[in-house]
Structure 1
């Protein structure tokens, strides 16, 4: 599942900076902005059949690993 999350993050990234791993920062490394984070949340919701995610407002979601953890928590 983590690999799938990273694939979605990479596919939607405004700037691709090498391989995406747990420590890859969404804003600093991949240049996500607030709007792109909302689009990413919607893509993850659709891909995994999740209820709405709130990544645009969450200060805890900084890295790709944080996104994978959030998806894991929502799926549980």
Structure 2
């Protein structure tokens, strides 16, 4: 169960979309979350990796070295 408060203009847009399509507001809220969850997880992971790199906890590999290592430098 999830309850969220939306700005009035977003709520109105969601309501209008639901009415126009015969779907529920919940359907569209669920779709929006599912659509963007992967992006949010990727962003979090990238931010954590950047913190680790800056703290010296993770080493980087130059792209040209990586390409050579995997035979992609052709």
Task: Tell me which interval the TM-score lies in, with the shorter structure as reference length.
Answer: under 0.3
Given the two structures, how large is their TM-score scaled by the length of structure 2? 0.25
Question: Highest Rg: 1 or 2?
Answer: 2
Given the two structures, how large is their TM-score scaled by the length of structure 1? 0.24
Structure number with the higher helix fraction is 2
Q: Structure with the greater relative contact order (CA < 8 A, sep ≥ 6): 1 or 2?
A: 1
